[in-house]
Structure 1
Amino acid sequence: MTKYLCVFLIVCSIKIYSQNEDNATSFQNEALPSILDTLQDRFNIKFSYLDEAVAARKVNLTLVPNGALEPLLDSLEKQTGLKFIKTSDTFYTVRAFMPSDTIAICGYLLSEIEEPLSDIEIFIKETKTYLYTDSKGYFSGDNIPYGSAILVSATGFRQRVLRGKAFIKEDCPTFILTESIQELDEVLIQEYISTGITKTGNEIKIDLDDVSILPGLTEPDILQAIQLIPGINSPFETASGIYIRGSAPHQNLVLWNGIKTYHQGHMFGMISAFNPYVVDQVNIYKSGVDPTYGDRIAGVIDIQSDTAIPEYTTGNAGINLVNADAVVHTPIIKDQLSLQVSGRRSYTDLVETPTFDQLSDRVFQNTTINTVSDFQNDTNDFYYEDYSAQLNANLSTNSKLNFSSLYSTNNLNFERRNDTLTLSDELRTENEGYRINWEYQPGRKRSYQISSYYSKYLLDYQFITDNMGVLVENERKNNSVRDYGAKITTTYSWSEYSKFTSGLEYSNNAIRYAFVTTTPNFELVLDEDDRTLNTYSVFANYSVSEPKSYRFAVGARLNYYEELDQIVVEPRLQYQKHLNNYWLVHTTAEYRTQAVSQIRESVISDLALENQIWTLADRQEFPLVTSYQLSTGSTFTKDKWFIDAEAYYRKIDDITTLTAGFINPIDNTYNQGSSSIFGADIFIKKHFENYKSWISYSYINSKNQFEAINNNSAFPGNWNIEHTIKWSHFYETGDFQFTLGWLWHTGKVYTNVAGVTQEGEILLLDYNEINGSTLPLYHRLDFSATYDFTLGSNKEVRYRLGASILNLYDRENILNREFRISNSFNTRFINDDMYSLGITPNVSFRIFW
């Protein structure tokens, strides 16, 4: 009897189940609007949506009697990639996922043979946070921005970039990581100094969207961030005064979207002239420069803004204690055309803040602005501004066109007056540039790039003496640069392991400078020059790599300087060898030339600011500067330890006492010579979960040798700072970031005075050995903190508060020391010591949308 009862119950259950299945409604490849109408009727709800957002979508769905609504909406989200938002008990909004929407993600990471990958680092780009896989390769995270790139990095595997939509389509998907078939160093050094700063071979890349805060900065100043790299210094605490391995700032090639720039600072170098919120990435080379780059002998700083066309209008705006700015990037034609514009201006001519006061004390010391005089009334109006615009166009799937422009200016008007006399210092600098660039890639193996640029720089200084409205004297200094050119580059990849790049480049450079004194009765030209140089270049580079083994690149650049009637071949060589998955060695060799240089003016202005002017090489006074550099080093990375060490030797020939920034204290004769530089950089970093610390040590020995100076013997270079230590700490908790940095280095060299001799009304200085003395030790501590937050339920608008303090313990450092005799009737001995910034606070507020 029991047996028959069991059979009866089973049959009944099958019948009931069949009836439920028979009552189920299935939709196959059904239009989404029709499905939504059905759900509205069945569940007595209402959907709000844009017709164009749902009209073309087809879905599959099965409706079971008495089934719940939420599983159905989850299924629709996975199939359509649309977000269903419950706004009340009976009302739902349907829209596309926004980049700022947050989702929960989970997944598994497996190798190609389906083995779990444990302890793999997963970086959430938008929030700058990390996830890690467990022993089963599983990872998960909440409140992940839908639009954020999710970077998966594992030693020996290709980096993989995931997006939020990959997690919407299915629950906890499985991702397969394939073995790396790229150069291993791209995987090894995923984070160099800080998040967003990576190192690939000899190229250091800064991604401004990802970079964490840096010591002493509330905002990611581009040129200040570069100075954290070992081997890069700024002896005078300026942003734009970047000395790479003993070379002067004017020997660096600084590009903005392919536009050569000749002035990179605001506030006389204290602030970078490039708005960091416009920049997408910066590529930096200390050595091993690709032959596609020419025109300079030292480092390369290649700044690039975003060329991708956004789906929505994005932007940000902010203010700190010195300037305010705004950036907007908006699509004009969906997926085809966009425009990015930015503007930044200081308000220092309207309001003087504690930050501006400290910067002013640093900049204007030892100038007429800070000199006590008999004049009772004085005014100092100063401001800076910069603007940029970029138009991005996708002409087709394999063709892009970009137009970029940049403009920056600094303006100073210092006036002092009494009842009859008015003295005015007027100083203006301008940097302006434009570039159009076309990229075409007809297939995987070939690509072409054609670009043309125009760059202009102007320095205009006037010292005007006015008596009762009548001009008495006008002393004027003027320097202008006009540079335009074009470039064609072709790239062909024989395989995924080898590539050949070649191209042609032309540039026309016209530079003029003049020192003129004008009175109502005469005009006196103290010094002037006006030159033009046409340069024709051919370059080629071949690179080949064997995965997990080596990478080799060899190339050359041939330059023909027309007005100099000179042909120069610049060979370039790079080689790196992987000893294992954690350790590689590398070496570079290069020869480069430079035809444009800055010279320290021999006519000292009354204002004593911007006393560097650009000039061109000629066949007499200023020869073509040449340089070769050799470097070798090793990199080790394992278990979140990163160690990098490199030694180098550089020889620079055909420099002059003026291009070397050296005004001979013994006599004023003009001399040619050379510079030899030997140095080494060591960098060590350890990354913990929320904390990381890195320390670097740099050694440099720079020697100059000029004919008929110092008995033809070598002496230390003007910018030689023998030992430098940089130690930084970074800690992140929740939405807060904190960073602390300590900078220590030996003092800069200078020429000391042994005594002062007076012959009548004339004073004569007796000097000791040239650059034989050293300033006291320099050190300072910098601190920064930021807090990111949103307000209310609006997650699409984000806010950031930042605070920083430079020179936290208010150390008084001497940056430079020079001695001179005044040019007045009352001749006197003057000791011009330049002191560093005192304790300098700054606060910033920013909004992102």
Structure 2
Amino acid sequence: MMEQSRLVIYVLLLTSFLGYGQIQEKKALSQIMNIVEKNYNVKFSYSVNDVKNIFIEAPSNSLTITEIISYLNKNTLLNFELLNDRYITVSILNKTISICGIVTGNSNNDALFGASIVVLNTDKGTIANENGSFNLENVSANARILISYLGYKSQEFSAKDLFAKDNSCSTILLEEANLELNQILITKFLTTGLQKNIDGSTVLNTKKFGILPGLTEPDVLQSIQALPGIESTNESIANINVRGGTNDQNLMLWDHIKMYHSGHFFGLISAYNPNVTSKVIVTKNGTSSQYSDGVSSTISMFTNDNLTKKFSGGAGINLISGDAFLEIPITKQLELHVSGRRSFTDAFSTLTYENYFDRSFQDSDINTNSETIENSDTSSNFVFYDYTAKLLFDLNDKHSFRANFIGIKNELDYSESITDNFNKTNTKESSLSQDNLGFGGNWNAQWSNNFSTNLVSYYSQYNVDASDFRVETDQLLTQANEVLETGLKLNSFYKVNNYLTLLNGYQFNETGILNETTVTAPSYERTKKDVLLNHALYTEAEYHKGSTYARVGVRLNYFQKFSKLIVEPRINIRQKVGKGLALKLEGEFKNQSATQIVDFQDDFLGVENRRWILANEQSIPISTSKQGSFGVEYSENNLNIDVTGFYKKVEGITASNQGFYNNFQYLSATGNYKVKGIEFLANKTTNNYSAWVSYTYSINDYKFENFTPMVFPNNADIRHSVSMAVNYNVLENLKLSIGGIWRSGQPFTRPVEGNETVQDRNNTFVNYDTPNNENLESFKRLDVSLSYNFNISTKTPAILRAGIINLTNQKNTINRYYKVDPNNSNKTIQIDNLSLKITPNVSLRVKF
């Protein structure tokens, strides 16, 4: 009897459950309308295509026909209209809808603050707030929505999928991309598109880039100067100083290809098209052991590495150049990405070009010859361009192949005419070209869930060629500086568990550098070529669990020519110690075998005086660095505060490498520099604004044993540097950015007062006093930018940007030196190089 009672209870429970499930089950809309037609004696008029694939819960039978119409209007994206007691029309909504959602990560369901939500083929979009939530109004019901977040796989939805009904928003789970342990720590850092990795490196995502003061394009090498500890003492991106280092001490990688050239306009504009470069990672310390050959920093640039599977592109123009790029699917597995950018100022001039030209060539033969040579006339023509191509092939979901090409060129033609006493005009042509070509390929292979490899090879060629015909002496000077480098790198990654990944790798580099000078009248020729082979083995363990992140590695470098082994340990630790509070420790040893010397005697038309040379372990040693830093981070409620103290020592520098404007200018010696300081950054971000202030204090001193004095301030010794800025969303599609820079003036050397020159045989030289014992006036600059998004058509979004550099037209001296007065050999003339004047620029970009 008891068993029978239990059986009856089970049957009743099962029947109730099944009945409840049937009530809650969603039915096809066409089926629901058939039931309503029978129960209420009405007739629906509709197109089958409009209602197919729509499923909703059936309305209650107790509702009136008016209430059912209201229910259907509320729960579908269709318009149900009761014409009379008998007929009901059904049509597609022409009006827009509201969408919403909550974006979280699939691994721990954490809200993804800063996730990007974009309505495709429009300028409409937003970012998720600190809870991962977002909402957008007035979105077309037929629109496609792309939701993305760095470190996670992007997902595409129909607007109907995210329709905000009954105040209920869908939860969107984004799947982590295969980035192993290196996760994003701060998703919106200074501006949208700037993010911070947990290992302390900074990521610039150019496609999501917001706005920075003075910029009309997300210029890669200008944008990173918003970070504390990174600046340019002479306002040139070709001379970026990271924690007091020189520009040649920054390792520049473009899609794994080592680059030896960085700027157009001889340093004022980045040579890397920001509309093609999708991501840039900047590391100041604690670098992964797979990188070396840059004793100050590593700047890694990457282009889009994913198949888009649809034809797309874009084009833009500003007051200096125009560019375009295309992403062309060839098959489902093969795609070609191409781009090109060229200045148009050889056709017509703009105020922006003229200001850039004056700034770049103010101390060159182009400007000085016409002033110093009687009855002379000069003219010049300058052009730059760059182009890229990338072939993407996915064999399957385990193996992918990429082939890359990049070309960069600056070209200057210069003519000089002199009219003699017989009214006969003699004209000579000079030229200067500077270019960098790079070829590369890589193969990514996922052999199992835990084991993957990455094979990279590249070839890089850098050339500077000058032909300088000097009319007053009838002398032809030709010069060349060439760098040829091939490289091979193999990385293997083994994922031990969800917290620990091991990296092992091998790298081979062959670097050859040529320097050549020839002179006519009198005849002279000098050629020097060096080749260096370098083998490296490295290993690294990366661990991330909960509040602890650690990356520890070591790199062994063997220089075959010198039979020399250099051991480089690396460490990067971050430990969260409380709510929003973390401690970080970073350290590294690095080396560099190719450096630049500054040659004032054999410069290229007075425009480019830097040339690459290779270490020989005699007069030019391999440069080595030791760097350590310790810091405290606080990140809570969209407020980020970072305080970091650092110490760096670089050994093996040469006097010719530093570009001295003093008595050491033509001397040969090796030495070192030490820099120690502290960096501070406070950044507050919301959906509508981002404000920040940064401050860097540092002491940077040289030490050359053979000089007197042995210790004196570094040329890049900037004791105090402050920057402040705010970005504000005036409207949904209108953004404003304004910011300022103040820093103490860099050191310079005065002549000895009362004894300004000294004579050596028939030559007279400036008699300089104690080196770098004076400082230039403080550098001050205010910049502003505006950005406006709009639609040219429904499928052609556009963005208009305007910016002004040096809004107050501040006259900043960025370099000062002296030369002997040609009219009085006992006196000197002070030469001041000035910064960029007030310079406006406007850009317009469209996508398709």
For 1:378, give the aligned amino acid. T
Mapping of 1:788-799 within 5 angstroms?
A: 788-791=789-792, 794-799=793-798
Separation in 2, partners of 1:832, 1:23 = 83
Judge conservation of contact 2:147–2:154 (CA < 8 Å) in 1. Answer: yes
Counterparts in 2 of 1:146-185, with a 5 A limit? 148-150=145-147, 163-165=156-158, 168=161, 172-175=168-171
Q: Which amino acid aligns with 1:675?
A: Y
Q: Measure the CA separation in 2 of the matches of 1:501 and 1:638.
A: 32
**SS of 2:818 mapped into structure 1:** strand
Cα shift at 1:631:
0.5
2:812 partner amino acid: N
Residue 619 (structure 1) shift: 2.6
Deviation of 1:165 (Å): 4.1
CA distance in 2, matches of 1:287, 1:113: 29
The DSSP-based 3-state class of the residue aligned with 1:659 is: helix
Q: Cα distance, 1:167 vs. partner?
A: 6.1
Whole-Å separation in 2 of the counterparts to 1:318 and 1:102:
30
Q: Is the 8 A contact 2:103 2:115 kept in 1?
A: no
User: Take 2:30 and 2:491, find their aligned partners in 1: how far apart are those partners?
Assistant: 60
Determine the C-alpha separation between the residues in 2 that align with 1:169 and 1:602: 64
For the Cα contact (< 8 Å) 1:46–1:91, is it kept in 2? no
Hey, what does 1:648 align to over in structure 2?
646
CA deviations over 1:633-691 (Å, ceiling 9, x no partner) = 01101122110110110111111101233365257331111111101110001124412
Q: In structure 1, the residue corresponding to 2:716 is in which secondary structure?
A: coil
Matched letter for residue 841 of structure 1: P
Equivalent residue letter for 2:240: I
**Aligned position for 1:208:** 206
Q: Do the aligned partners of 2:516 and 2:528 also contact (CA within 8 Å) in 1?
A: yes
Q: Is the 8 A contact 1:630 1:650 kept in 2?
A: yes
Match of 1:485 among 487, 512, 518: 487
Q: Would you say the 8 A contact 1:26–1:61 is kept in 2?
A: no
> What does residue 366 of structure 2 align with?
369
Q: Which amino acid aligns with 1:834?
A: N
In the TM superposition, residue 187 of structure 1 has moved relative to its aligned partner by 5.9
Question: Residues 832 and 76 of structure 1: is their aligned pair in 2 closer, same or farther, counting only changes over 3 Å?
Answer: same
Instruction: Give how far 1:552 is off.
Output: 1.6
- Post-superposition offset of 1:132: 4.3
Which letter maps to 1:305?
T
Structure 1: where are the runs of 5+ without partners? 1-21, 28-40, 49-53, 78-88, 95-100
SS in 1 for 2:294: coil
Taking the aligned partners of 2:830 and 2:495, their CA distance within structure 1 comes to 61
Which residue in the other structure is 1:544 paired with? 543
After superposition, the C-alpha distances for 1:451-473 in whole angstroms (9 at most, x for unaligned) are: 11000000001111469xxx942
Partner of 2:844: 845
Corresponding position of 2:350: 353
Distance 1:121 1:93, change over 3 A: closer
Matched, 1:381 2:381: yes
SS at match of 1:247: coil
Partner of 2:443: 438
Any conservation in 2 of the 1:657–1:663 contact (CA below 8 Å)? no
CA separation of 1:248/1:352 partners in 2, compared to 1, >3 Å: closer, same or farther?
Answer: same
- Identify the match of residue 264 of structure 1 among 248, 262, 265: 262
The one-letter code of the counterpart of 1:367 is S
Q: Answer whether contact 1:121 1:130 (CA < 8 A) is retained.
A: yes
Provide the rounded CA distance (Å) in 1 between the counterparts of 2:567 and 2:260: 25
Alpha-carbon offset, residue 559 of structure 1: 0.8
CA distance in 1, matches of 2:747, 2:221: 24
Instruction: Kindly indicate whether the alpha-carbon contact (under 8 Å) linking 1:533 and 1:563 is maintained by their aligned counterparts in 2.
Output: yes
Q: Secondary structure at the match of 2:374?
A: coil
Deviates more, 1:778-787 or 1:828-837: 828-837
CA offsets 1:434-481 (integer angstroms, 9 cap, x no match): 1011101133211111111000000001111469xxx94211121000
How far apart are 1:377 and its partner, in Å? 3.5
Contact 1:289 1:572 in 2 (8 A): yes
Matched with 1:515 is: 517
Q: Secondary structure at the match of 2:355?
A: helix
Partner of 1:247: 245
Please tell me the residue identity of whatever aligns with 1:191: K
Distance 2:108 2:715 in 1: 60
Task: Tell me by how many angstroms 1:325 deviates.
Answer: 0.5
Tell me whether 1:529 sits opposite 2:528 in the alignment: yes
Q: Which residue of 2 aligns with 1:397?
A: 397
Describe the shift of the 1:185–1:778 C-alpha distance in structure 2 as closer, same or farther (beyond 3 A).
same
Residue among 75, 98, 106 paired with 1:104:
98
CA distance 1:604–1:107, change in 2 (3 Å): closer
- State whether residues 315 and 328 of structure 1, in contact with CA within 8 Å, keep that contact through their aligned partners in structure 2: yes
Cα distance change of structure 1 residues 128 and 251 upon mapping to structure 2, 3 Å threshold = farther
Moved more, 371-380 or 241-250: 371-380
Q: Cα gap change, 1:133/1:630 in structure 2, threshold over 3 Å: closer, same or farther?
A: closer
Q: Distance in 2 between matches of 1:451 and 1:345?
A: 29
1:30-78 deviation per Cα after TM superposition (whole angstroms, max 9, x unaligned): xxxxxxxxxxx98475969xxxxx9xx988799999998996998799x
| 1:746 corresponds to | 744
The question of 1:720 aligning with 2:714 is answered no
Q: Which residue of structure 2 aligns with residue 773 of structure 1?
A: 774
Counterpart contact for 1:666–1:767, Cα < 8 Å: no
Could you say which residue in structure 1 is the equivalent of 2:412? 412
Contact map agreement 1:26 1:62 (CA 8 A) in 2 = no
**TM-superposition CA deviations, 1:820-841 (whole Å, max 9, x none):** 3379998973422110111001
> In the superposition, relative to structure 1, how do residues 93 and 386 fare at CA in structure 2: closer, same or farther (>3 Å)?
farther
Corresponding residue for 1:497?
499
Alignment TM-score, normalising by the size of structure 1: 0.84
| Aligned CA distance change for structure 1 residues 542 and 102 (closer, same or farther; 3 Å) | farther
* Aligned-partner residue type, residue 124 of structure 1: I
Which structure 2 segments of 5+ residues have no match?
1-26, 33-42, 60-64, 79-88, 419-423
Assess, with a 3 A threshold, how the Cα gap between structure 1 residues 178 and 441 changes in structure 2: closer, same or farther. Answer: closer
Cα distance change of structure 1 residues 167 and 562 upon mapping to structure 2, 3 Å threshold = farther
Query: Following superposition of structure 1 onto structure 2, how do residues 674-753 of structure 1 map, counting pairs within 5 Å?
Result: 674-711=672-709, 713-732=710-729, 733-753=731-751
The one-letter amino acid of 2:771's match is I
Separation of aligned partners in 2, 1:446 and 1:113 = 20
Say how many residue pairs are matched.
Answer: 774
Instruction: Choose 395-404 or 120-129, whichever is displaced more.
Output: 120-129
SS in structure 2 of the partner of residue 788 of structure 1:
strand
Given the two structures, how large is their TM-score scaled by the length of structure 2?
0.84
Aligned to 1:807: 806
Give the SS at the match of 1:767: coil
What's the counterpart of residue 82 of structure 1? none
